[in-house]
Amino acid sequence: MPSRWLDCSCGRGPSVVQGKWYGVRSYLHLFYEDCTGASPDGDRDGSSPQGAWAPLIWKVTLSTGILFLLVGAAALATGSLVPPKLEGIGEEEFMVLDMQAVRYNHALGTCRLVGMALCMAAGALGAV
């Protein structure tokens, strides 16, 4: 394992010539490797735990946000585009209330509410 150099100062390009690495490399290549903390072999030394977790957290957050957006849009579309059923059947004097239709319409309203909540959660995850 290569020895760890002291600290990154972006002006340390010429110090690489002191015997750390050998081979044909351009000055800019060594300059940018020195400032990003990458070794010339392309391996990361793994000393920064945040650097290893940041891409994973970003990908999980983005994937979750996209999933919430798709499910929320589907629920919102279902709740909005499916027509509600008639709840009351009959005339003014004799009115029959269809309980199945009431539950069905309530489920459509819940579907719209869950769809809006999931879309807002997806927006919040996208903003993060």
Residue 20's pLDDT band, with cuts at 50, 70 and 90, is low
Look at residue 13 and tell me if it is in a domain: no
pLDDT of 2 reads 52
Look at residue 27 and tell me if it is in a domain: no
Q: Which tokens go with 104?
A: 């069905």
CB distance 39 to 2 below 8 Å: yes
Q: How many domains does the chain have?
A: 1
pLDDT of 64 reads 94
Residue 86's pLDDT band, with cuts at 50, 70 and 90, is confident
Look at residue 87 and tell me if it is in a domain: yes
Q: Which domain holds residue 59?
A: 51-67+79-127
Torsion-angle region of 23 (φ positive above 0: left; ψ -120 to 50: alpha; else: beta) = left
- pLDDT, mean over the chain: 76
pLDDT of 85 reads 87
pLDDT of 13 reads 47
Q: What's the pTM?
A: 0.56
What whole-number distance in Å separates Cα of residue 58 and Cα of residue 64? 10
Look at residue 98 and tell me if it is in a domain: yes
- Binning the chain into helix, strand and coil, the percentages to the nearest 5 are 60, 5, 35
